[in-house]
Structure 1
């Protein structure tokens, strides 16, 4: 869990942001194999400063995932503003996957064996999920997605694509095959 919610001094806020930036870069490259002392070093801070902001690696990872969900929510809002329901759906799907392609930590958090600390980022996740539901519902109601498709299926598609984001995996082909299967085609 992060430090108690109270306004941070300017220097403490800068230190926290430096830790998040450093951890985000290292986690994105190497997943959760990163050590806390490496993060502190890259941030130009002592390990004690890092631990004053984040009690453990899971709390730090939750904060980074929260940042990612904030960015994903902005992406989802932009997709939701698109007039065509199918374009909105594809924009969200591909934008989401392209954003996480270079972020191993986010993929590990979503696909890994340890359950992320969702309670630490509940607001971010809730807003993102609501927009997904709205976009999916619009596409279904417009007859662009099969009638039985729901927001949970969006998660299945993205997880499958993320599992194929390897050196030899072709996640774009994976998604294209899925889209062919879920797009409603008029007879």
Structure 2
């Protein structure tokens, strides 16, 4: 059982939540340069407590991404309930990106994924991927998106828009315009055009 899955005592759970919140703030400010010592101080905890939960920065980032993917799977399953396949796809992609907006740790993980131990959050990623694939397949079958759109394309599209978020923090108009352009580029013959804001 992993750190992400193992039940924690109430005090340990509170400490873990404090660490995750502090890490989120510091990753947002400093990116990968955020230091474990600063995270512990921000959380109001000692280094021993921090390292009992997360032996290194990599483990902390993995835990944060794992929690995010769990929430993303719920988001994708909710999109499956939308009747119109094109609306379902757009809601899923937009929701995914809105959740990443302001979460620099998640943005960093998705843009620099080669050095993350993704196998530690394999279950969370697999649940998300399965739900996304079902939404994409339904949108493709209806003609609402391009016939060749795949899960791999979803990942590339999302990462591209996320890079706009990360390199232009606070530039909501920039990433939303980027998203609208992308949506028009992958829309199928039965889809509705997006109006650029």
TM-score (norm 1): 0.90
Distance 1:75 1:55, change over 3 A: same
1:42 equivalent in structure 2: 42
Give the deviation of 1:113 after TM superposition.
Answer: 6.5
Could you tell me how far apart the structure 2 residues matched to 1:20 and 1:32 are?
15
Give a deviation string over 1:83-140, Cα, whole Å, max 9, x none.
1110110001111111112111111111127421212211111101111100000000
1:129 equivalent in structure 2: 129
Give the deviation of 1:58 after TM superposition.
Answer: 0.1
1:152 equivalent in structure 2: 152
2:32 equivalent in structure 1: 32
Distance 1:70 1:113, change over 3 A: closer
Mean CA deviation greater in 106-115 or 71-80: 106-115
Give the deviation of 1:3 after TM superposition.
Answer: 5.2
Q: Do residues 93 (structure 1) and 102 (structure 2) align?
A: no
Distance 1:120 1:112, change over 3 A: same
Given that 1:30 and 1:104 are in contact with CA atoms closer than 8 Å, whether structure 2 keeps it comes out as no
Could you tell me how far apart the structure 1 residues matched to 2:4 and 2:188 are?
49
1:77 equivalent in structure 2: 77
Could you tell me how far apart the structure 1 residues matched to 2:91 and 2:106 are?
20
Give the deviation of 1:45 after TM superposition.
Answer: 0.7
Give a deviation string over 1:139-186, Cα, whole Å, max 9, x none.
001111111111111111111111222336822222222222211125
TM-score (norm 2): 0.85
Q: What 5-or-longer segments of structure 1 have no aligned partner?
A: none
1:170 equivalent in structure 2: 174
2:194 equivalent in structure 1: none
- What is the RMSD computed on CA atoms of the aligned residues? 2.2
Alignment of 1:4-23 (within 5 A): 7-23=7-23
Q: What 5-or-longer segments of structure 2 have no aligned partner?
A: 191-197
Q: State the SS of the aligned residue for 2:115.
A: coil
2:117 equivalent in structure 1: 117
Give the deviation of 1:71 after TM superposition.
Answer: 1.8
